[in-house]
A and B are shown apart, each in its own frame.
Chain A
Amino acid sequence: MSDINPFFIFFASIFTSNMVLANFLGMCSFIAVSREVKTSLGLGQAVTFVLTGTTIINYLIYHYILVPFRLEYLRFIVFIITIAAFVQLVEMVLERYVPTLYYSLGIFLPLITVNCAILGVSLFMVIRDYNFIQSVAFGVGSGLGWALAILAMAGIRQKLQDAPVPKGLEGPGITLIITGLMALAFIGFSGIVKIQ
C-alpha cells in the first residue's frame, strides 16, 4: 500500500480522488462559499495552506507520540485540536506580520476548522498508511484539488446567475447537480492513476 510514488499521490489527489468530487469532503463550505470567484480563490488558498500544515503536524504527532504510547484511539480528539490550534495560530501570525493576506483570508480561517476535508485528509493518511513524503504530497494535492473544484464551481455559478432554473432547484439543488456533472467529468481522469 505504502510504496506508491508520492508524485502519483499528488496528482491523484488533485484529479482522480478529488476531495470534493470523489470523497464528498468539505461539501458544506463548498456549497456555501462558491458564489463568487474571488472569495472562492481566497478560501481555496486558505484550505490548501492549512491542509499542508495540519497534515505534516498530524503525521508527526500520530507517528511519534500516539503510536509509541499506544494511544491511537485518541486520534480524533488530537487531530481536531491540532487543526483548531493551527488555524488559530495562523490567524494570529498573519494578523501580526502579513496584514494584507490576513484581510483577504481573514473571514475564511475560522470556517476552516469545521471543514471536514481537513480532518478527512488526516484520517485518510492514517488509514492508508502513508509515509511522511507521501502524506505531504497527499495534503498539498488534496488542498489544490479542493481549490480547483471550488474555483471551477464559482465560475460556473457566476455564469448561471441569468439562467432560468426551476424554482425548487434554486440555490443548493442546482449546485449539487453541477457538482455531479463535474464529478462525472473528473471520472474521465480515473484511468491515469489510482491510489485507492
Chain B
Amino acid sequence: MMKLKDIKNIFSTGIFNDNPVYRQLLGICSALAVTNLMLNSLVMGLGLVFVTAFSSMTVSIIRQYIPRHIRMMVQTLIISAYVIIVDIVLKAYYPSMSEALGPYVGLIITNCIIMGRCESFAQKNSPIPSFIDGVANGLGYTFVLLSVAFFRELLGFGSLFGIPVLGDWWVRWIFMIMPPGAFFMMAILIWVTNSLSPVKEESTVTGGGR
C-alpha cells in the first residue's frame, strides 16, 4: 500500500519541482499552439492527463513482458490507442472543440512528456504509482497551459474562458493571439520561473533540451 507521503511527493515533483514544460522543456509544441484560449488549453490539458495516466499505468502493468529493444514501439502504440479514445470522445461529444484543436489532439502522441514518463518512471514502478505520476505530470502540463493561456486570452481578447473581463475600454492586443505572442509569453514565464526558483543542477535545463 502506498503511503500518503509518497503520493504527495510524486505530485509536488510533477507539478512544481520538475514541471515537465518549464523545467525539462518537454511538450512545448502543443503548449504553444493551443494556448490562445483558456478553454482550449483546459480541454487539451485534461486530454493529456488522461493519456499520460493510463499509458503510464498500462506500460507499468506489462513492463515485464515487453522485450527491451522494441519497448519504444510498444509504448508508442499504447499511447496512440489512448489518444484515439480522446479523439473519438471529443468528436462525439464536443465537435466544436475537436475542430478548434485540429491536429493537435493527434499530436499528443508525439508529446515527449508521455513518452518521457513511460520511459523514466513507469518502466521501474508498479502500476498505481505510475498512474499517479502520470496524473501529476499531466496536471503540471495543464497548469502551464492555463498560465500561458491566462495572459494570452486576457491581453488578446480581454476575456477569460470566453467571459469578457476587461470591458470595452481595453484595446485588444491582437499580437498575443498570433504565434509570436505565444513564443514571447512562454519565454517570459520560463524567465520568471527560473528567476524565482533557480534550478539546482544546471544540467536539467541545458542538458535535457528535448
Contact = CB atoms under 8 A, between A and B. Distances in A.
B106 A27 contact: no
A177 B184 contact: yes
A32 B187 contact: no
A111 B183 CA distance: 23
Interface string A163-196: 0001111111110110111011001000000000
A75 B80 CA distance: 10
Given A76-B83, A176-B190, A31 B102 contact: no
B191 A24 contact: no
Given A123-B106, A176-B186, A183-B179, A77 B84 contact: yes
Interface stretch (B4-12, B22-30, B60-68, B133-141): B22-30
Contact of B73 (A74, A84, A115, A177): A84
Contacts of A169: 187, 190-191, 194
Contact of B195 (A31, A168, A180): A168
Interface string A10-36: 000000000001111111110111000
B87 interface: yes
B164 interface: no
Contacts of B33: 23-25
Contact of A171 (B27, B109, B198, B206): B206
Contact of A166 (B81, B180, B191): B191
B80 A24 contact: no
A173 B191 contact: yes
A116 B87 CA distance: 17
Contacts, number: 130
B182 A24 contact: yes
A23 B32 CA distance: 9
Nearest to A111: B210
A120 interface: yes
A27 B84 contact: no
A66 interface: no
A171 B115 contact: no
A73 B88 contact: yes
A25 B194 CA distance: 24
Interface string A88-119: 00000000000000000000000100111001
B76 interface: yes
B190 A173 contact: yes
Given A27-B28, A77-B81, A187 B210 contact: no
Contact of A120 (B81, B107, B112, B180): B107
Given A73-B84, A167-B195, A127 B102 contact: yes
Interface of B: 25-30, 32-33, 73, 76-77, 80-81, 83-84, 87-88, 102-103, 106-107, 109-112, 115, 178-184, 186-187, 190-192, 194-195, 198, 205-206, 209-210
